[in-house]
Homo-oligomer: A and B are copies of this chain.
Amino acid sequence: MAEKQGKVTIYDVAALAGVSVSSVSRVLHGVPNVRADVRQQVEKAIEELDYVPNRTAQMLKTRRAYMLVHIVADVTLPFYITLHRRLRQEAEKRGYQMILFDADKDGPRVKRYIQQNADRVDGLICSARSVHEKLLEAFNHCGLPVVFTHDCAQDLFDACYPDPRQGAQLCMDHLLSLGHRRIAFVGSEEKDKMNCARLKTYRKVLADAGIETEDALIWREGEQMNAGYRAGMYLAGLENPPTAIYTSGDLIAAGVIQAMHDLKWDVPGEMSVTGENDLAIARDLSPALTTVTDPADAICTTVIDYLLDRVEGRYNGPPRITEKDGRELIVRGSTAKKE
């Protein structure tokens, strides 16, 4: 690494400026009590030498990296990416860099990563629908503060996530108000709190409207497009198909709509469909998707608050857990009055 040699250090700056390294360090960090001419000399020297402090040395000394890691279950899912970008922006506002880590279903790799990087990082954010107990242990063990953007932390860590009921509530109310009575449920088969709450809400809304739930109208599989596709095919094939489909996410809804296309069923004429989170794809679909927004902004600031509170030593108590509401229904072309 010839290039890595010959880097200019704080000593070079001090020498050129004719002061001690202490003084250089002081102006570097904006410490107030520094004589003006010293400050100027130092600034000139820094400029001249194009000096950049060595973060590694700073880290070793201060035990602060100004670096956060966002661990994401699967970077392939656009939902996580959108979230990441907002979190990152929020972190940068507060002077921290943020790195994206793709768990990619490889728990042991995540564990290894955390272990090996605990000293070059200040805190962790974890975004996943569910996380293995072993990993939870690793989080606990690494000594880093961590906060979750989902409800999978089993109350062991700080967390902030959307009210798990609100999305389903809004969509179901909307479909009922359009006159639908046979409404299908399409969601993930995962048994996490979020998905359970969706199904429970679905059932409750129907019950409150005096409609009996039919098991045949409930399809639980993945959360990718192809799961939605299969759901759509299945529901359309029923003897007595539904007139509307509630889905737990935009990607699934996209799959459902594609199935309807292939079957030449008109959306929304013969089938209404709703999504969740208002991803970019919701607008790109045809018809554009009726969906609910994600309360992401509120969540992201709280998540970063929680994390930096601990990183910077302002809070050291038991886990804080917040459910945010603030979802909004966005009516677009995929839903219509039942004929």
Using CB atoms, name the residue of chain B closest to A78: B76
A39-47, A52-60, A154-162: which lies at the interface: A52-60
For the complex, give the distance between the alpha carbons of A174 and B262 in Å: 26
Q: Is A272 positioned at the interface, with any CB of B under 8 Å from its CB?
A: no
- Whether A117 pairs with B55 at a CB distance below 8 angstroms is yes
- 0 or 1 for each of A81-104: is its CB under 8 Å from B? (1 = yes): 100110010001000010111101
Contact in complex: A56, B52 (CB < 8 Å): no
Contact with B along A271-315 (1 / 0, CB 8 A): 000000000110010100000000000000000000000010100
Judge if A258 is at the interface, Cβ distance under 8 Å: yes
Which chain B residues border A286 with CB–CB below 8 Å? 229, 258, 261-262
- A11: Cβ under 8 A from any B Cβ: no
| A255 neighbours in B (Cβ, 8 Å) | 284
Interface size class of A (residues with CB under 8 A): 35 or more
Copies in the complex: 2
- Residues in B whose Cβ lies below 8 Å from that of A261: 261, 286
Cβ contact within 8 Å between B63 and A143: no
Let me know if A3 is at the binding interface, CB within 8 A. Answer: yes
Cα(A186)–Cα(B136), bound, Å:
47
Please name the residue on chain B nearest to A99 by beta carbon: B99
Pairwise interchain contact B143-A4, C-beta atoms closer than 8 A: yes
Cβ–Cβ contact B60 & A116, under 8 A: no
The 8 Å CB contact of A3, one of B85, B97, B143, B262, is B143
Q: What residues of chain A have their CB less than 8 Å away from a CB belonging to chain B?
A: 1-4, 7, 52, 54-57, 59-60, 63-64, 75-76, 78, 81, 84-85, 88, 92, 97, 99-102, 104, 109, 113, 115-120, 122, 143-145, 225-226, 229, 255, 258, 261-262, 280-281, 284, 286, 311, 313, 316
Pairs A–B under 8 Å by Cβ, sample size 26: A1-B64, A2-B313, A4-B63, A7-B119, A7-B143, A52-B118, A54-B119, A55-B120, A56-B60, A56-B119, A57-B60, A75-B75, A75-B81, A76-B78, A76-B280, A81-B102, A92-B109, A99-B99, A99-B100, A99-B101, A225-B281, A225-B284, A255-B284, A258-B286, A261-B261, A262-B286
